Amino acid sequence: MWPRLPFQPEQASSVAKGVDHLYFFLTFITLFFTAIIFLTIFYFAVKYRRRSDEERPAEIAGSVPLELAWTLIPTLLTVVIFIWGSSLYFRNARPPRASTEIFVVGKQWMWHLQHSEGAREINELHVPVGVPIQLTMTSEDVIHDFYIPAFRIKKDVLPGRYSSIWFQATKIGAYHFFCAQYCGAEHSGMIGWVYVMSPADYAQWLSGGRSGETMEETGARLFTQLGCTTCHISDGTGRGPSLLGLYGKPVRLEDGRTLTADEAYIRGCILTPFKQRITGYPPIMPTFQGQVSEEQILQLIAYIKSLHVEEGKAKQ
Amino acid sequence: MSRTPAEPTIESRVHYLNVDYGVKSWLLTTDHKRIALLYLASITFMFFVGGAAAVLMRLHLVEPQGALVQPETYNKLFTMHGVVMIFFFLIPAIPAVLGNFLVPMMIGARDLAFPRLNLLSWYIYVVGALFTLLALLTGGVDTGWTFYTPYSSTYSHSNVILVGLGVFITGFSSILTGLNFIVTIHKMRAPGLTWFRMPLFLWSTYATSVIILLGTPVVAITILLLALERLLHVGIFDPKLGGDPLLFQHLFWFYSHPAVYIMILPAMGVMSELITCFSRKRIFGYSAIGFSSMAIAALSFLVWGHHMFVTGQSVYAGLIFSALSFLVAIPSAIKVFNWTATLYKGSISYDAPMLYALGFIGLFTMGGLTGLFLASLATDVHLNGTYFIVAHFHYIMVGGTIMAYLGGLHFWWPKISGRLYPDGWARFAALVIFVGFNLTFFPQFMLGYLGMPRRYAVYPPEFQVLNVMSSAGASILGVGYLIPLIYFIWSLRYGPPAGPNPWKAKGLEWTTPSPPPTENFEETPVVTEEAYAYSTKEKQGG
């Protein structure tokens, strides 16, 4: 690779081309205006060079039409760039409805990734080509950032909350991903590879890399081990609320707020249950802070989400 | 270039440099000109400290696996480079050195409004700098100059508190200097010097002072909060303690984005002085340039969120911040067009200060236009946190501020020292700096687009070619900065006398002898014309 000077990163996702088009347009604008300024300066500097120390050129105070022109033209141009950049951003930010979810936990200084089917990876991510993938990400410690240049996507990975990002790979191959938010000593070692595979290869990889349990199954096992089943009974007779069909539904809290029970809400309930108690239940749930890792929380969430799907056929 | 040495000898006359001798006469001075020189010495020292760190970083990055140091040390190097250059060089550079020297002289006053406060500002700066240097000598700090939490508040094992204290203290130096300038410009202008007759350097110094007064307290509070969390474990930023890590970024950038304008606005002021003098023209669009400074000062407080597009900040907030960021680009564009138009039908000479000024226009234009890539949401997602950002802000800060600072120093050096420096060397240095700068930072735009993240001590081998180019440029740039240091020091002793006005420039500072007497003017000058009245012959000062 040494002698080849690359000018463009691979375009390997569905959004890469769109971003590049805007990038090229901006490059053109930059070169165009830089050239205008450079050439004008050069022309003036030569044409009006000082020929005698006695020269006193005539006064020119300014020109209102010129001021208006070079205020309005750049303004119009930035409006165009703003609309282009923003609409593309909004289009790129919205994930398609049916996307496969993969969970990412950043910690000093490695990436842990887990597929819903159970396969776990460290600093590697295998994905099928042409399938929209959504990454749900959190951090065990400081702020990290998940960045895949070939896909033109990037998002901070924060402790204490979930961020998400999606992509649809369009080209089979191996691409770098980087941590793009400085996170300490080995920040520059926090890099890895995305392997984009054909669907058949991916299916084969998935069955080979299987840990024996899906994330749901691990979550269900944890749910029992941690004693959650003592209170959260699916028919609603327990001391805690039934979690059946909880995910995605609005919940009324003791302090009067109404929230949607999403990943962040469930995570909050596990770590600080007293802060978001559902109305009508006693404050008896202990905190699990320090007892479960971010990855285990994601597995528990995967399990609780599955209770939503399986309509009354809970495995409690 | 024909310069007539009008003075007999510099030594035969009493001026601010020879009015008193000895260390005490300097350390207890309240003369704004002497304080300017105290600042000049201190910030030059800090510049070479920060520069040494940069040179080590670039040497290290010649090899993908890192040629020089461990990653921990590399992290401390870029942190030191950032902290020292931003807080101890770029922010004070033009206001505290050139501003201190020039504000009273340009308005025809004896001194600043509060001369003792001015000396106190310098002492505060020195104390802040000493704390920071102490932190660097006792192990350094590894958080990056941005101090992002919770890394800085909980996880870093380095001297965060000591450096934080240094930055906190030096902030007060800026605040007091800003206050001093505002009062001075309001109350002490010479008879006839109305607001719209003021040189544009004063307008931009005024705008800068307003930003300093409003913004700096916020970063001081932010550092205090960080210290509270780090020392007493009060949960403010770390989610494990119940805090919000993004709150820090909001507070930090609320100051640190305006701080970018604290660094560039004075440079723009210097530009207006240089362009007019060396094209012997009145500035094109005086009020457009003056008002655009004030517009920048106001808008600069409303764009901090553009540093946070990929943090998970609301997409609608991102939309607003993007729009406002495009808006703040317009006044800067207006200035560039006006400076260029000032050259039209002028009488242009290519003395060293003018070479820096022309270099500024080119580099600042590129720095500004590449800002559009980052204000635009879709492209920022890809470029944020990469070398593209590094290149962009170095085009503004180094290509803009340092070029203008050096241009200004070369322009007013004959006034400050009373002596001329060798013109050929000065032009040569300007050229070396321009070439070295572009070779260092242009490849970094390409690296960023290719996806190389910033703050990487080791990197994948495909980025090596561009990194080697950048490192080669940095060594040229380093040499370029050493040349002026040598001939400025040389000129103090051996330079030919400059006379009161070697450039035949307009402005009150050129009507008094070089170096000026302690009281600046023998009698208070009366201003009867607009700034930059270059069509009439200049008065010969005594």
User: DSSP secondary-structure letter at A58?
Assistant: P
Q: How close A31 gets to chain B, by Cα (Å)?
A: 8
Nearest to B403 by CA among B353, B472, B478: B353
Q: CB B376 to CB A84 under 8 A?
A: yes
Residue B134: which of B201, B73, B84, B89 has the closest Cα? B84
Q: Do A61 and B286 touch (CB under 8 A)?
A: yes
Write down the pLDDT at residue B415. 96
List CB contacts (< 8 A) between B288 and chain A. Answer: 62, 67
CA A151 to CA B212: how far, in whole Å?
41
The beta-carbon neighbor of B369 closest among A30, A50, A153 is A30
A156 close contact with B: CB closer than 8 A: yes
C-alpha to C-alpha distance for A170 and A179, rounded to whole angstroms: 22
pLDDT at A239: 83
Contact B327 A78 (CB under 8 A): yes
pLDDT of B349-361, one tens digit each?
A: 999 999 999 999 9
Q: Tokens standing for B86?
A: 């931003």
The partner residue sitting opposite A156, judged by closest CB among B312, B382, B533, is B312
Average pLDDT, chain B: 93
Is residue B515 reached through a cis peptide bond, with omega within 30 degrees of 0 on the bond before it? yes
Q: Considering only CB atoms, which chain B residues are within 8 Å of A152?
A: 381-382
Task: DSSP for B445-486, please give it.
Answer: HHHHHHTPBSS-SS--GGGHHHHHHHHHHHHHHHHHHHHHHH
Distance CA B293, CA B40 (A): 25
Question: Tell me: the pLDDT tens digits for A10-30?
Answer: 999 999 999 999 999 999 999
- Four-residue CA torsion sign, B132, B133, B138, B142: positive
Residue B331 and residue B264 in contact, taking contact as beta carbons nearer than 8 Å: no
- Chain B environment of A81 (Cβ under 8 Å): 326, 372, 375-376
CB count within 10 Å of CB A249 equals 11
CB of A158 within 8 Å of a chain B CB? The answer is yes
Looking at residue A48, what is its pLDDT? 93
pLDDT of residue A3: 47
Whether the pLDDT of residue A33 is over 80: the answer is: yes
Percent of chain A with pLDDT over 90: 51
Q: Nearest Cβ partner of A81 from B318, B372, B381? A: B372
Q: Which residues of B touch A21 (CB under 8 A)?
A: none
Task: Say yes or no for a CB contact (<8 Å) between A188 and B365.
Answer: no
When pLDDT is cut at 50, 70 and 90, the band that residue A210 belongs to is low
Instruction: Give the pair of three-digit tokens for residue B327.
Output: 């808006």
Residue A57 is inside which H or E element, if any?
none
A63 touches chain B (CB under 8 A): yes
What is the model's pTM? Answer: 0.90
Give how far Cα B145 sits from Cα of A32, B142, B334, B356, B374, Å.
34, 9, 31, 28, 20
Q: What is the pLDDT of residues B392-446, one digit of tens each?
A: 999 999 999 999 999 999 999 999 999 999 999 999 999 999 999 999 999 999 9
Nearest alpha carbon to residue A106 among A135, A138, A153:
A138
Q: Would you call B148 and A182 a contact, using CB atoms and an 8 Å cutoff?
A: yes
For residue A204, the model assigns a pLDDT of: 87
Residues of chain B contacting A150 with CB distance shorter than 8 Å:
451
What tokens were used for A13?
């996702």
Residue B405 pLDDT? 97
Per-residue buried b or exposed e for A105-139, using 16+ beta carbons within 10 Å of the residue's own CB: bbbbbbbbbbbbbbbebeeebbbbbebbbbbbbbb
Q: Are B77 and B53 in contact (CB under 8 A)?
A: yes
The strand pair at A173-179 and A192-197 is best described as antiparallel
Q: How far apart are CA B242 and CA A176, in angstroms?
A: 34
CB neighbourhood size of A230 (10 A): 11
The residue written with tokens 């200060």 in the block is B353
Interaxial angle between packed helices B32-60 and B100-107, expressed in degrees from 0 to 180 and rounded to the nearest 10? 140
Distance of CA B142 to the CA centre of its chain: 24
CA nearest to A82 within chain B: B376
Distance from CA of A294 to the nearest CA of B (A): 12
pLDDT at B3 (0 to 100): 52
Q: Are A102 and A114 contacting, i.e. CB atoms less than 8 angstroms apart?
A: yes
The least confident of A205-214, B239-248, B481-490 is A205-214
Q: Is the pLDDT of residue B474 over 50?
A: yes
The answer to whether residue B121 scores a pLDDT higher than 60 is yes
Contacts of B349 in chain A (CB under 8 A): 49-50
- Which distant-in-sequence residues (6+ apart) come within 8 Å of B259 by Cβ? B86, B91, B211, B215, B219
